[in-house]
Amino acid sequence: MEVAVLAALVAALSVTVAGSAQGDQFLVDLEHATIGSVSPKDSVRQLRAKFGAGNVIRTVGRLEGSPNVTFVVSIAGHKVVQHWNYVSTSDSAFKTKEGVGVGSTVADFARYYGEALRGEGEGASFLNFRPSGGSEFQVRVTDQCFADVAHLKADKVCTVREILL
């Protein structure tokens, strides 16, 4: 009985925190280039202090044939990846202050951040946005979002698969 009550309390608090306007645990902060307060400038020590050692996992992949170290940060079960010079997420829990994120359409992003430009990336299609007065950021979309190699389809119904700051 006590375990069930405790589990229900934890679940309720998680929903309250995740849905609350206070705090920025799920904020894609374009101004500060952070996702859920994870910055590409954070050291591993800083990440572990902020999120707990068990929530910061070192991974090694390959980038252009060379080993590439990233850190996967878990925030209330949702993932942000810290790369050597940027942060990214493919988790729809993270949203900008305007309420757009992974799963939003390209048109949703264009409404707030202007028209997208074709970006560069390996193995995927990227769009670049440059909000007025802000820093450029990228989103990953599927190849089907393009009428040809250089032109975004006019309907802009493609959905964003990943955000990179």
Q: Write the pLDDT tens digit of every residue in 87-139.
A: 999 999 999 999 999 999 999 999 999 988 877 666 668 899 998 878 899 99
Contact 163, 137 (CB under 8 A): yes
Predicted confidence at residue 112, as pLDDT, reads 95
Confidence of residue 62 (pLDDT cuts 50, 70, 90): confident
136 compared with 8, residue with greater pLDDT = 136
Name the CATH topology of 24-164. Answer: protein yfey like fold (2.60.460)
Beta strands in 4-161 (DSSP E): 28-29, 34-35, 56-63, 66-75, 78-82, 87-89, 117-118, 125-129, 137-141
Contact 88, 28 (CB under 8 A): no
Residue 12 burial (10 A CB sphere; 0-12, 13-18, 19+): exposed
In this predicted structure, the answer to whether residue 75 has a pLDDT above a threshold of 90 is yes
Single pTM value for the model: 0.80
Q: Write the pLDDT tens digit of every residue in 16-33.
A: 344 434 357 899 999 999
**Mean pLDDT computed over 59-68:** 89
CA 117, CA 125: separation in Å to the nearest integer? Answer: 11
